[in-house]
């Protein structure tokens, strides 16, 4: 049995310890904000926070998460007012929106680590998160706006 928290609530998994966290979140916990993209950790669509660090949920076996804290897009902010979420809405970042939960979670992890990120910081942190619609300029602008809002 593996016990961990998801968005502040205790969870336990008695099933296959090799089950990817992504399937646990979507199928067993009913948290469908985290999306399936490539299944190989290459696109960033399934990004969640594990102990505050961005991680690909499609690659993480639930059996390796004992005692850890997972945050999904649903748990980033109860009211949707995390600075990254606010900036995303203000700048209309999403186009199709499929990758945006992963983008937001990656950006939140970046800002937690580097509250005033440089362009190089943003490039390094976000390079593994793909957007088929090409909203990269709006993503960068939203990260910078969220950093400004967080400084206030």
- For 99-141, write each residue's pLDDT tens digit: 999 999 999 999 999 999 999 999 999 999 999 999 999 999 9
Given CATH 3.30.300.30, say whether it is the number of domain 2-76: no
Domains 2-76 and 83-151 share a fold: no
Architecture label for domain 83-151: Orthogonal Bundle (1.10)
- How many Cβ atoms from other residues are within 10 Å of residue 54's Cβ? 22
pLDDT band at 150 (very low <50, low <70, confident <90, very high): low
Alpha-carbon distance of 62 to 13, in angstroms, equals: 8
Q: What is the pLDDT of residue 152?
A: 44
pLDDT confidence bin for 149, thresholds 50/70/90: confident
**pLDDT score, position 127:** 96
Burial per residue of 66-81, b for 16 or more beta-carbon CB atoms within 10 angstroms, e otherwise: eebebbbbbbbeeeee
Rounded to two decimals, the pTM is 0.95
The mean pLDDT of the chain is 96
The predicted model gives 22-43 an average pLDDT of 97
- For the chain, what are the domain ranges? 2-76, 83-151
* Residue 6 confidence (pLDDT) above 60: yes
**Contact of 117 with 111, CB cutoff 8 Å:** yes
pLDDT for res 151: 53
């Amino acid at each position: 049995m593996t016990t961990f928290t998801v968005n502040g609530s205790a969870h336990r998994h008695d099933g296959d310890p090799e089950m990817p966290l992504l399937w646990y979140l979507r199928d067993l916990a009913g948290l469908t904000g985290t999306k399936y993209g490539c299944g190989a950790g290459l696109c960033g669509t399934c990004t969640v926070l594990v102990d505050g660090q961005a991680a690909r949920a499609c690659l993480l076996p639930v059996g390796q998460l004992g005692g850890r804290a997972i945050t999904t897009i649903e748990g980033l902010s109860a009211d949707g007012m995390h600075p990254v979420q606010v900036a995303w809405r203000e700048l209309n970042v999403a186009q199709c929106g499929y990758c945006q939960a992963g983008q937001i979670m990656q950006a939140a992890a970046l800002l937690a680590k580097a509250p005033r990120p440089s362009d190089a910081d943003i490039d390094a942190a976000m390079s593994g998160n793909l957007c088929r619609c090409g909203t990269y300029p709006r993503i960068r602008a939203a990260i910078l706006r969220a950093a400004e809002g967080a400084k206030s």
